[in-house]
Amino acid sequence: MFPYPYQKDQLITPTKALFMGMLCAVWLLTGLIGHDPWKPDEAYSFGLVYHILQSGDWLVPTLAGDVFLEKPPLFYWTAAIFAKLCATFLPLHDGARLASGFYMTLTLLFTGAAGRELFGKSAGWAAAIILIGSLGLLVRAHLLVTDLALITGCAMMIYGYALSTRRNLLAGLILGTGVGIGFMSKGFIEPVFFVFISAALLFFPAWRTRPFYITLGIALLSALPWLTIWPTLLYLRSPQLFAEWAWQLNIGRWVTHARGGDYSETFYYLTLLPWFAWPAFPLAVWAIWEARKKLAQAIEFQLLLVTFGVMLVALSLAPKINDLSALPMLLPLTLLATTALFTLRRGAANALDWFSIMTFALLAILLWWGWTGLLVDSPAYITQQLKNYRPGFQPILQANQFWIAVFVTVLWMVLVWRVGRSIRRSVVNWAAGATLLWILAVTLWMPWLDSSKSYRVMVASMKKTLPANYNCVSGGQIGEAQRAMLQYFGDITVREQPRPECDLVLVQGTGTTPHSEDPKLWNTIWEGGRPGDKGEHYWLYQRVGK
């Protein structure tokens, strides 16, 4: 493997390892509980988990009474298990969200293991610290979204490739299991990664070896149960549902997109990643530049560059492009960035260090200032804007959360002052600063954030106006997230397709665009939405004469 210039101060002592382990643990655990499912992705994800808990049907993902087969159910199974195990002391949605912490823990472990395997012992902790500092992962890692299981599968896949040069049997088992977890979480995207990464690596002579072929064979065998058992059971339950999942929502969607899809956002990830993957992105660019003359011999760079390239191309050509889909690309960028810590000039490292300290200090001050202004009802412009954004929100001083925020802020200042000088200091301070902001958001700002992203109050208001007896509620334009939360908070099942037998109709629009049904046929019995949300407004109608 390519030799890297380790320095004496880069060795990880037990004390440093304990500190970084605690930093990762605090980052992982903060924000997993204590708030309602947030729109949009958390809300519909929990709706699928809630169906499992209520019905006991673990085979067919269902949302508010309608089959929802866009993704296989592994993540929803895991979340349902956590929710059931924790039901005695946590709300169902908080218990389910622990699945996100579970998968993120595995992701950090396998990313660190891959860094250690590729670049030596010191790189394992560095990879984990850089990953938790990634801006794009900070909030998303603590949400109930199936993409977290996908990146766990990708982390296992990369580690399996890295390990294949030394222990091909174990590497094949981990690689195949990772591909299977990714498939059972998000569908065909990770098997696509596996096929094209494996094929691309074979263009390099260093990878055309008997151990690597053995690794790939074992990986295929290990992935086979994951790739076949649930689809087979789904087919046995209903060939029509199997066809809908396999063709209409997966393969067929890709084929249709390839034939004439909208490619206007093909370069979206190239504009997203510079900030989404900060600080890994600039460090990875520097690492590639430093190793540019030796890439032909450095199999670890070949692996990571091929992995990133395949992910970027595949995701850029996918039918659905969004921020969550970019999460797998953080892994190869993070691992590339770890090598920069061994070659980065001390001046550049100090510049990144001071940039992180000043950035997070300023943002922490703004969070404290904004929260204090809301609490004391300051006439400041920023306070008035925050109040206008969430009309009716009443801040209260929560003593426990306040003192946690004070303690963490003081602790961060002490750590910034006391952390020893090293190249690694810059990424440690960045990760600590990101963790500080997340803790302040969760402790001081959680009531405000929850009021802006939760449907609890809106659903309670609607439920009060429901007639004592009605057949059903239809709402063809109601999104998955809203239908899931109506089911969870109000036990209100809104049918996806309009049904003539339904005597209630729920319509979604905007606050500035009133909607009205034929007054001769329908009476408005409720109108509302979430406070301050002008993008969503709802009208509930009852058929005349019912």
How far from chain centre, in Å, is Cα 154?
A: 13
Instruction: Tell me the sheet residues that pair with 474.
Output: 495, 505
pLDDT tens over the chain, length 546 residues: 544 543 434 567 787 788 889 999 999 999 999 999 998 789 999 999 999 999 999 999 999 888 999 999 999 999 999 999 999 999 999 999 999 999 999 999 999 999 999 998 888 999 999 999 999 999 999 999 999 999 999 999 999 999 998 899 999 999 999 999 999 999 999 999 999 999 999 999 999 999 999 999 999 999 999 999 999 999 999 999 999 999 888 888 888 887 877 777 889 999 999 999 999 999 999 999 888 888 778 899 999 999 999 999 999 998 889 999 999 999 999 999 998 887 777 778 788 888 888 999 999 999 999 999 888 888 888 888 888 777 777 888 889 999 999 999 999 998 887 665 556 778 888 999 999 999 999 999 998 888 878 899 899 999 999 998 888 898 867 888 889 999 999 999 998 777 778 889 998 887 766 666 666 788 889 988 887 777 788 889 988 875
Using CA atoms, how far residue 296 sits from 159, 196, 290, 449, 489, in Å, is 21, 19, 13, 49, 57
Contact between 145 and 158 under an 8 Å Cβ cutoff? The reply is no
Q: Distance (Å, rounded) from C-alpha 200 to C-alpha 309?
A: 10
- Tokens of residue 139, six digits: 């909030």
If you search the block for the tokens 């301050």, which residue do you land on?
532
How far from chain centre, in Å, is Cα 442?
A: 17
Residues listed for the chain: 546
- List alpha helices for 261-345, DSSP H: 268-276, 280-290, 299-316, 330-343
Contact between 440 and 361 under an 8 Å Cβ cutoff? The reply is no
Q: Give 492's DSSP letter.
A: -
Q: Distance (Å, rounded) from C-alpha 459 to C-alpha 304?
A: 47
Q: Which amino acid is at 312?
A: L
Nearest-5° Cα angle at 195, 190 to 198 = 115
Phi-psi region of 541 (alpha: psi -120 to 50; beta: other; left: phi over 0): beta
Query: Which contiguous run of DSSP H or E holds residue 526?
Result: strand 522-528
The domain segmentation of the chain, as residue ranges, is: 13-343, 346-453, 456-543
pLDDT reported for residue 8: 38
Among candidate residues 45, 48, 43, 78, the one with its CA nearest the CA of residue 64:
48
Q: Distance (Å, rounded) from C-alpha 474 to C-alpha 296?
A: 61
pLDDT reported for residue 513: 64
Instruction: Tell me the sheet residues that pair with 523.
Output: 542
pLDDT reported for residue 437: 95
Using CA atoms, how far residue 328 sits from 159, 201, 257, in Å, is 13, 19, 21
Laid out side by side, the sheet with 537-543 consists of 494-495, 473-474, 504-509, 537-543, 522-528
pLDDT reported for residue 294: 81
Would you state the torsion angle of the CA atoms of residues 511, 517, 522, 524, taken in this order, to the nearest 10 degrees? 10
> What b/e string do you get for 482-514 counting C-beta neighbours within 10 Å, with b at 16 or more?
bbbbbbbbbebebbbeeeeebbbbbbbbeeeee
User: Who's near 316: CB < 8 A, 6+ residues apart?
Assistant: 266, 267, 268, 269
Among candidate residues 253, 158, 262, 166, the one with its CA nearest the CA of residue 214:
166
- Tokens of residue 149, six digits: 């299981």
